[in-house]
Chain A
Amino acid sequence: MRIAAYGLSALALTAAMAGTVASTAAAQETLVINSFGGAYEDAHRELVIEPFEEMYDVDLQVVTAYSADMLSQLRAQAGNPQFDVAHFSGGQEVIAAEEGLLEPISRDELEYADELYDFAVEGLDNGVGPVYSVAAVGMLYNTEALETAPASWQDLWNDDYAGHIVLTDISNTYGLLGLLMINQVHGGDLDNIQPGLDAVSELLDRSVIVRSSPEIQQNFAQNDAWIAPYAQDYGHTLREAGLPIDFVQPEEGSPAVFITANVVAGRENTDLAKKFVDFSLRAEAQIGWAEALRYSPTNRTAELPEELAAQVLYGEEAMANLVTFDPQVVNDRRSEWTDMWNRMITQ
Chain B
Amino acid sequence: MSATSGRQSRREAILLITPGVALLIGGFLFPAFQILAMAFVPATEDAGIWSNFARFFVDGYYLGVTERTLRLSVIITAITVVLGFPIAYIIARSGPRLRLVLLIMTILPLMTSVVIRTFGWVIVLSRGGPLTDILHAAGLVERNFALLYTETGIVLAMVQVLLPFMAITTLGAISAIDTRIEEAARTMGCSFWRSLWHVVLPLSIPGIVSGSLLVFALSISSFVTPSLVGGVRLPVLAWSIYQQATSTLDWHFAAAQSVFLLLLVMAIIIPYLALMRRKNG
Contact = CB atoms under 8 A, between A and B. Distances in A.
Contact of A223 (B127, B235, B246, B250): B127
A169 B126 contact: no
Classify the interface of chain A: helix, strand, loop or mixed. helix
Interface string A320-342: 00000000000000110011001
A218 B122 contact: yes
B61 A342 contact: yes
B123 A222 contact: yes
B245 A346 contact: no
Contacts of A338: 243, 247-248
A335 B250 CA distance: 8
Contacts of A169: 232
Interface size class of A (residues with CB under 8 A): 20 to 34
A72 B129 CA distance: 37
Interface centre among A72, A210, A343, A347 (most CB of B within 10 A): A347
B122 A171 contact: no
Interface string B220-264: 000000011001111100000001011111100000000000000
A162 to B, nearest CB: 9
B73 to A, nearest CB: 18
Given A171-B243, A208-B149, A335-B250, A223 B126 contact: yes
A267 interface: no
B128 A222 contact: yes
Contacts of A312: none
Q: What's the dominant secondary structure at chain B's contact region?
A: loop
A222 B232 contact: no
B126 A211 contact: no
A181 interface: no
A68 B227 contact: no
B234 A68 contact: no
Contacts of B126: 218-219, 222-223
A209 interface: yes
21 contacts: A68-B247, A171-B243, A171-B247, A204-B233, A208-B149, A209-B231, A209-B233, A218-B122, A222-B122, A222-B123, A222-B127, A223-B126, A224-B144, A334-B248, A335-B248, A335-B249, A345-B232, A345-B233, A346-B235, A347-B233, A347-B234
Interface of A: 68-69, 71-72, 75, 163, 169, 171, 204, 208-211, 215, 218-219, 222-224, 334-335, 338-339, 342-343, 345-347
